[in-house]
Amino acid sequence: MQKNLFLRIVEAITANDEYFQQIPDATGRQGLSPLVKCTGAIRVLAYGSSTDVVDEYLRMSEAATRIFLIKFVEGIISCFSDEYLRRPTEQDLARLLYIGEERGFPGMIGSIDCMHWEWKNCPTGWAGQYAGRSGKPTIILEVVASYDLWIWHAFFGTPGSCNDINVLH
């Protein structure tokens, strides 16, 4: 993630949620900064690591990291849902169709892509239905994104559900 984007996210979340503001703890020492709290949440989200891994990296407890993660996701939704987490409007679709036509892809609003993640902590009872090509439990993320990296559709599914018809539907 680019630094200016990360700082914009931290600033917006800190302004809207006092939980991310730096305050003194019970002993009078300054608590964790908004940068550290957001870094912990993003590290868990971006790298798929467990919350206890952040303890060594940022010196935050597993419980605190879990709370920051939940608050971070809630903050993202409250701060950015109106602009970025919404359905495309008629103007958005017209713009995307125009740009697709200019680039030689008439009727295209975005590109479809799929990503496979191995599910290390999959419950044993579910492992069979989530088995991917590798034979290991897998979760698939299907996404439609436009040229400007706006994600217009995202779906987590099981192996076998990963095909363009399902995404287009």
Q: How many independent structural domains does the chain possess?
A: 2
pLDDT reading at 63 higher than 60: yes
pLDDT reading at 11 higher than 90: yes
The neighbouring-strand residues paired with 117 are: 139
Identify the domain containing residue 38 by its residue range. Answer: 3-80
In this structure, the answer to whether residues 25 and 76 fall within a common structural domain is: yes
Q: Which of 63, 80, 97 is the last residue of a domain?
A: 80
Contact 159, 133 (CB under 8 A): yes
Whole-model pTM: value is 0.63
Is residue 156 a part of any domain in this protein?
Answer: yes
In this structure, the answer to whether residues 34 and 73 fall within a common structural domain is: yes
Q: Residue 128 has which token pair? A: 């069979």
Q: What is the mean pLDDT of residues 93-104?
A: 91
